[in-house]
Chain A
Amino acid sequence: MSTSNPDQLDAAIDQVAARMVAVGDDGEMSLRIVSALPERTSRLRWLIPQFAAIGALVIAAFLWTTRNDSAPETAMLPSSAGTSVIALASPVAANEPGTALRTMPLERLEGLERMEPTVSAENVDHERSLPAIAAMRSLAFDSLAPVSLPEDAPLTLEPLAIADLPLTADGFSPR
């Protein structure tokens, strides 16, 4: 059949296209779908192991970053051959009552304490102070008489050579 009317041809195309996607009634399909549904698990249930792993990592990272603050006695330097850094610092801190043992960066302590301990007569650091300078020995000459001079090494004095001093105005700086 030849359809000369364009509107009729369009309608025929629509009918055939609609028939191509037409479905018959299947009243039991929804029942089949429901019966085939698996056990529904919570959306968060499969995330529990992942949350647990993340939590363990966070706790480990926290313990790692705060291990010096929580247990300073056990902190060891590998190059110190068993010598505790804190053990070396402790006598110094004990001798300086006003000095806190620094375990944190200075930038974080600037607002809390002084950069250097106050120097007073009571807390002078004798261990760090320089040794006392020995008193100067006085110059002692027995005698300046010619007879007291050694004979094998006669004293000779070179003549002093004094250059002419520039006493002109050009020789002085303007200042």
Chain B
Amino acid sequence: MSLAELTLPMLTMAAADEAAADPEVVRLVSLARTGDRAAFGRLIERHLTAARRVALAAVGQPSDADEAVQEASVAAWRRLDGLNDPNAFRGWFLRIVWRKAIDRRRSLRSWFDRFSSTIGDDERPIEFAASDATPDQILISRELATAIAQVVRSLPRKLRDPFLLAASGDHRYEDIATMLGTPLGTVKWRIAEARRMIRIKLDHLGHGDPR
């Protein structure tokens, strides 16, 4: 993960149309449509990190996220003829990943509800190694990091999903709105509301003072 993504991920919105004018993407899509698996593999590899982050934002566990990405890749391979604009492959693929991850999250929730597991579906410990801290970063304690992670996990999914997607730094607000099927203004409000709720809860936990 780059330093910029760690310090100010919300402002590091990658251009969703980074492949908008990329003739290589068009060529790979054309090859993949003819059944070229290697070309499709190169296409997936270009967006694999973003896809895994999208899935992780939905399911919380890396293993589940990777399985969702794998299912989405197979689905994209089968539906490749339905992609009208090859330049829009990235957004199209990430939307498939998001839907597959949401399906997986629902099935996981039903499984956990059925067996009354005490383990949440996304209770992954946030690890902060000492080497992560650089002079350009805000030094935060393990206690504060754990508290923030717990507060983020406790957010309602409607607030947490756009907040984590924005935190990944891979998507613009417009892309998040498209991915979630939500109006742009609603996405912006939910992200701001998520941040406000996090600050309030952190204040109750004794961390910081909300504005």
Within B161-200, the residues touching A (CB, 8 Å) are: 163-165, 167-169, 195, 198-199
Given known contacts A1-B144, A21-B167, is B78 in contact with A15 (CB within 8 Å)?
no
Question: Measuring CB to CB, which residues of chain A are less than 8 angstroms from any residue of chain B?
Answer: 1-4, 6, 8-24, 26, 29-34, 36-38, 40, 42-43
Asked if A17 and B140 make an inter-chain contact with CB atoms under 8 angstroms apart, the answer reads no
Among the listed B74, B138, B195, which residue makes an inter-chain contact with A36, where contact means beta carbons less than 8 Å apart?
A: B74
Please list 8 pairs of residues, one from A and one from B, whose beta carbons are closer than 8 Å in the complex, sorted by A's number. Answer: A2-B208, A9-B199, A9-B202, A12-B144, A15-B7, A15-B140, A16-B152, A30-B45
Q: How large is the interface on B (under 10, 10 to 19, 20 to 34, 35 or more residues)?
A: 35 or more
User: Given the known A-B contacts A13-B148, A13-B198, are A37 and B77 also in contact in the complex, defined by CB atoms under 8 Å?
Assistant: yes
CA A13 – CA B40 in complex, angstroms?
36
Partner of A17, one of B65, B128, B137, B164: B164
Contact A4 B209 (CB under 8 A): yes
Q: Total number of A-B contacts with CB less than 8 angstroms?
A: 140
Residues of B within 8 A of A4 (CB): 208-209
Given contact pairs A6-B208, A17-B167, A21-B56, A38 touches B148 in the complex (Cβ within 8 A): no
Flag if A1 contacts B143 (CB, 8 Å).
yes
Question: Is B38's CB under 8 angstroms from A34's CB?
Answer: yes
Interface residues of B (CB under 8 A from A): 1, 5-10, 35, 37-38, 40-42, 44-45, 48-49, 52-53, 56-57, 62, 65-66, 69-70, 73-74, 77-78, 80-82, 124, 126, 128, 137-138, 140-141, 143-145, 148-149, 152, 163-165, 167-169, 195, 198-199, 202, 206-211
| Whole-angstrom CA separation of A17 from B141 in the bound complex | 15
Complex CA gap A26/B77 in Å reads 20
Q: Which residues of A contact B124 (CB under 8 A)?
A: 20
Could you tell me if B74 and A37 are in contact, using CB atoms closer than 8 angstroms?
yes
Contacts of A12 in B (CB 8 A): 138, 140, 144-145, 148
How many Å lie between the Cα of A43 and that of B152 in the bound state? 42
**What's the Cα separation between A34 and B35 when bound, in Å?**
11
Smallest beta-carbon distance B21→chain A, Å: 24
- Chain A residues, CB < 8 A from B140: 1, 3, 12, 15-16
Q: Is there an interface contact between B144 and A31, defined as CB atoms closer than 8 Å? A: no
A1 touches B56 (CB 8 A): no
Contact for A38 among B6, B77, B149, CB less than 8 A: B77
Name B66's contact: one of A14, A17, A26, A31 (CB within 8 Å).
A26
Q: Which residues of A contact B211 (CB under 8 A)?
A: 6
Cβ-closest chain B residue relative to A35: B37
CB distance from B193 to the nearest CB of A (A): 13
CA distance A116 to B52 in the complex (A): 82
B207 to chain A, nearest CB (A): 6
* Cβ contact within 8 Å between B167 and A3: no
Nearest chain B CB to A166's CB is how many angstroms away? 97
